[in-house]
Amino acid sequence: MKIGIVGARLAGSYAGLLLSRLGHEVLLFDHAAEEEKPCGGGVTFKAIRKMPWFAESSLPHAKIGTALLSAHDGYAGSLLLPHPIHIFSRRSIDSHLLQWAIQSGTRFLPERALHFAKDRKTWRIKTKAGAFEVDYLVGADGANSSVRAALVGRHASLDLSLALGCVLPNAYHPGTVRIAFQESGFQGYMWSFPRVDQTSVGIIRRLPGAHASDLKRRVEEFIAVHYPDAGDERAFYAATVPCLRHRSLIQQRVCGEHWALLGDAAGFTDPLTAEGIYYALRSAELLADSFHRGDPSRFETRWRMDFLADLERASHWRDHVFTGMVLSRTFIRRSLQAVRYSGVIQMLLDNLISGNISYKVLLRNLVFRSPQILAQALRRKLVYD
């Protein structure tokens, strides 16, 4: 089959690679694939484990074994991560996948796809250079996907978050990520992720209520406290990330008669943490596997069976995590106390982040092991405080 893929980063290039290997003729369009994608570059252990090519590729990365978590009032706890987060430069993963796709037979066209129209069974993709006919159209063109806009409509603003950040070239704190939660009601968080020779610092907040100037001020204050030697010169970026509401997740269609959406275009990010790298890659695998089994339309069922439950649970928990109160303290504050005082909580969170357990299994464990967690917390509090 002749397949046109719009967007040549994680989802698009990986899909190009896998579909070319299956013997399909793939055209891959992107006018800006060489630019650095604004992204923390944090890849969780579940992606490293499920996609062995990460380890085999020897792409430079930093391994993170500790997350320093802080609440708005300064209360902090460290979470040990026996299953480390790997932090890559997005430029290196993106170009690795693109080159790999090209070597496998994908034809890369460094052009913006401007228009998509279907005539019976054939799609026409228009670019400045001309028109290309394909049998199947894949939208892997990110959060503001124009393929999505043409086929099912753009993501609603209530389903988007705004991320703003910068890179600090001379700042590097090996082995530790910082996550700083903000005041109650702020649906998002600030992060600093050390890469091999620099640190990426940023903040994300759900769109209604997110203002770039406010986010920038918070990042500057964070840098002044944690990276006082970082200097004054930095270029900020802003980008949207889909973090879908529960209703949008279950009602949306990402696959139809000879078309599919992948990655951010399909809204495949964790609505609580905004983790999207794993889901972009996994969605490409599931689409390619549906082609392999001779029925691309199975993709809609496959992604729902594979990871919808986790995204749904994260979406349900989001309000509670960012606005909930427990015993007159914020949910975040109480969770950090639990992280500080309970080894069981540390172990469960590490297993959640690494993909060993789902949000559902975490919840079950929290309920059934609550006496143990409470006893542990009381014992440690008595010893250490």
Ligand X SMILES: Cc1cc2nc3c(=O)[nH]c(=O)nc-3n(C[C@H](O)[C@H](O)[C@H](O)COP(=O)(O)OP(=O)(O)OC[C@H]3O[C@@H](n4cnc5c(N)ncnc54)[C@H](O)[C@@H]3O)c2cc1C
Using the contact rule CB under 6 A, the part of the chain among 32-40, 221-229, 346-354, 359-367 near ligand X is 32-40
Rounded to whole angstroms, how far apart are CA atoms 30 and 17?
Answer: 15
Q: Is 29 in the site for ligand X (CB under 6 A)?
A: yes
Which of 85/338 has CB closer to ligand X?
85
Q: Does 109 bind ligand X (CB under 6 A)?
A: no
The encoded tokens of residue 141 equal 């063109």
Stretch that binds ligand X, among 136-144, 176-184, 228-236, 304-312 (CB under 6 A): 136-144
Among 4, 16, 24, 38, binds ligand X (CB under 6 A): 38
CA distance 200 to 197: 10
Q: Can you list the pairs that 28-32 forms with residues at least 24 positions away whose Cβ atoms lie under 8 Å?
A: 28/98, 28/101, 28/106, 28/107, 28/108, 28/109, 29/4, 29/5, 29/109, 29/111, 29/112, 29/113, 29/125, 29/127, 30/6, 30/108, 30/109, 30/110, 30/111, 30/112, 31/110, 31/111, 31/112, 32/112
Q: What is the DSSP string of 203-252?
A: EEEESTT--HHHHHHHHHHHHHHH-TTS-S----EEEEEE---HHHHHH-
Among 77, 202, 271, 355, binds ligand X (CB under 6 A): 202
Q: Taking CB under 6 A as the rule, does residue 16 contact ligand X?
A: no
Q: Using the rule CB under 6 A, is 7 a contact of ligand X?
A: yes
Shortest CB 331 distance to ligand X, Å: 23
Residue partners of 366: CB distance under 8 A and separation at least 6: 348, 373
- The reply on whether position 113 binds ligand X by CB under 6 A is yes
Q: How many CB atoms lie within 10 A of CB 103?
A: 10
Q: Is 142 left (phi over 0), alpha (psi -120 to 50) or beta?
A: left
Instruction: Confirm or reject binding of residue 160 to ligand X (CB under 6 A).
Output: no
Q: Which pair of tokens denotes residue 173?
A: 């704190």
Residue 350 touches ligand X, criterion: CB under 6 A: no
Stretch that binds ligand X, among 139-147, 182-190, 338-346, 348-356 (CB under 6 A): 139-147
Q: Does residue 17 belong to the site contacting ligand X (CB under 6 A)?
A: no
Stretch that binds ligand X, among 23-31, 54-62, 172-180, 344-352 (CB under 6 A): 23-31
When binding is defined by CB under 6 A, the residue of 4, 26, 27, 30 that contacts ligand X is 30
Among all chains, which residue has been given the structure tokens 């900020």?
Answer: 236
8 Å CB contact between 40 and 121: no
Q: Is 163 in the site for ligand X (CB under 6 A)?
A: yes
Residue nearest to ligand X (CB): 276
For residue 297, what is the DSSP state? G
Structure tokens at 341: 């005082």
The mark string for 242-281 relative to ligand X (x by CB under 6 A, - otherwise) is ---------------------xxx---x----xxxxx-x-
In the complex, the smallest distance separating the C-beta of residue 132 from ligand X, rounded to whole angstroms, is 12
Q: How far is the CB of 32 from ligand X (least distance, A)?
A: 4
310 binds ligand X (CB under 6 A): no
Is residue 286 involved in binding ligand X (CB under 6 A)?
no
**Given the rule CB under 6 A, which residues bind ligand X?**
6-12, 29-33, 37-42, 112-113, 140-142, 146, 163, 165, 202, 239, 241, 263-265, 269, 274-278, 280
